[in-house]
């Protein structure tokens, strides 16, 4: 079956949408890095018809699923074969108003976080939005026992993966021209984290 289903995407789509409604201009172009199943693209594009949503994923199976989920949505572009670590920012589409990455940082090596921040710093206009979602440590500590257990599981599966410290992410975002605007507590001990491109 072409259409994949991620239970987490079904659960967190509405809470994430509520934050995006507050932050995105009614008419804007948004690149989603690591779109996965495509459920988020379908939810957000259907609810916000003024957006032009650019989904992307390096996995061909994920791109097929994205196409299946977003079929019939005129404001969703065909999914791009894009990977932050592999593709230089010059290859990213543009012009953009925002970049979204949901549940990406903790399932990929730290180098992917650095590449995403660098790419966002180059691709976004002044005051453009980088929206991150997922579990984060704060002040060097996990925010819940379940996140600590999840972090141990991630690190046992793949070297370099794991829950990131928000302070560390914000520190390395600075040289890329991004400033932390705010973070929003979300269900299941996750955060929505909003960076803005420094004018």
1 domain residue, yes or no: no
Residue 90 pLDDT? 87
Cβ pair 138, 164 in contact under 8 A: no
Q: What is the DSSP letter of 132?
A: E
The answer to whether position 39 is within a domain reads yes
Number of domains in the chain: 1
Closest-CA residue to 198 (of 170, 178, 176, 172) = 178
pLDDT interval class at 167 (50, 70, 90):
very high
pLDDT over threshold 90, residue 159 = no
Mean pLDDT of the chain: 96
* 50 or 89, which is more confident: 50
Mean of the pLDDT values across residues 76-93?
94
69 falls within a domain: yes
Calculate mean pLDDT across residues 31-51: 97
Residue 94 lies in a domain: yes
Domain hosting residue 157, numbered range: 7-197
**Cβ distance 102 to 32 under 8 Å?**
yes
Q: What pLDDT sits at residue 1? A: 62
User: What are the tens digits of pLDDT across the range 105-147?
Assistant: 999 999 999 999 999 999 999 999 999 999 999 999 999 999 9
Q: Is residue 70 part of a domain?
A: yes
**How confident is the model over 48-59, as pLDDT tens digits?**
999 999 999 999
Q: Residue 80's domain is classified under what CATH number?
A: 3.40.50.150
Quote the CA–CA distance of 86 and 180 in Å, as a whole number.
Answer: 25
Q: Is residue 171 part of a domain?
A: yes
Return the higher-pLDDT residue of 1 and 84. Answer: 84
SS3 (DSSP) at 170:
helix
Sorting pLDDT into bands at 50, 70 and 90, what band is 158?
confident
Distance of alpha carbon 93 from alpha carbon 9, whole angstroms = 24
Neighbours of 9 (CB within 10 A): 22
Residue 2: inside a domain, yes or no? no
Q: What is the C-alpha to C-alpha distance for residues 105 and 22, in angstroms, rounded to an integer? A: 23
């Amino acid at each position: 079956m072409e259409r994949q289903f991620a239970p987490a995407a079904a659960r967190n789509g509405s809470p994430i949408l509520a934050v995006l409604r507050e932050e995105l201009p009614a008419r804007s172009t948004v690149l989603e890095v690591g779109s996965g199943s495509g459920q988020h693209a379908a939810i957000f594009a259907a609810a916000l018809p003024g957006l032009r949503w650019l989904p992307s994923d390096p996995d061909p199976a994920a791109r097929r699923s994205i196409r299946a989920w977003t079929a019939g949505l005129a404001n969703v572009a065909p999914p791009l074969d894009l990977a932050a670590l592999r593709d230089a920012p010059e290859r990213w589409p543009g012009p953009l108003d925002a970049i979204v990455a949901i549940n990406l940082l903790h399932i990929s090596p730290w180098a992917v976080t650095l590449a995403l921040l660098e790419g966002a710093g180059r691709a976004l206009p002044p005051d453009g939005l980088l929206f991150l979602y997922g579990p984060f440590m704060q002040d060097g500590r996990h925010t819940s026992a379940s996140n600590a257990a999840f972090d141990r599981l991630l690190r046992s599966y793949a070297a370099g993966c794991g829950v990131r410290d928000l302070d560390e992410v914000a520190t390395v975002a600075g040289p890329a021209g991004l400033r932390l605007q705010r973070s929003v507590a979300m269900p299941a001990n996750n955060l929505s984290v909003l960076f803005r491109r420094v004018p």
